[in-house]
Amino acid sequence: MKRISILFVCMGNICRSPLAEGIFSHLVDESGFADRFEIDSAGTGGWQEGDHPDRRSIATAKGHGIDISQQRARQIRTKDFSDFDLILAMDRANIAELHRMSPGAANIRLFGDFALASGEDIPDPYFGSSDGFELVYARLFAGCRKLLETLGTDNASWSGKISSVR
């Protein structure tokens, strides 16, 4: 069975994308589908490389029963564009940067389009309060839940939905 590989991307890989990775991993584990997915996160910038997620992201996730404290930030790599079936960017600025890095990549999507069907950007909570992290968590949770439902539970449904992404 082919695993579906998903990469969540934000700017520094310390706020939104590690939360998305943690939420989706948690939902996949609870559903019993951990062996069917490869899940990771990265940032378009590399200045946070090796850092743990922002303490507010860790606290927000922990408040919802999810531990992301062992994650480490990394910058997206050229090979990620071919290694991942689906690259979900948190906002349009990151979409633009990803397309600049890999102009021909057809697997790049906006999280708000692909997972939420709303077209919204997931706002960067970094310069705000803990309330902003809770808001981001709520939007990411809703999108990750829909993403898991969209990808289905069998390989037949995955192949059609993922192949249209590439």
- 11-38, pLDDT tens digit by residue? 999 999 999 999 999 999 999 999 999 9
Candidate CATH numbers 3.40.640.10, 3.40.50.2300, 3.30.360.10, 1.10.260.40; the one for domain 4-153: 3.40.50.2300
Nearest to 108 by CA among 96, 124, 123, 120: 96
- 50-107, pLDDT tens digit by residue? 999 999 999 999 999 999 999 999 999 999 999 999 999 999 999 999 999 999 999 9
Note the residue count of the chain: 166
| pLDDT above 70 as % of the chain | 90
What is the structure's pLDDT at 153?
53
Average pLDDT of the chain is 91
155, 46 in Cβ contact below 8 A?
no
C-alpha to C-alpha distance for 65 and 38, rounded to whole angstroms: 21
SS3 category, 164: coil
Q: Active-site residue numbers?
A: 10, 16, 124
First to last CA, the chain: 19
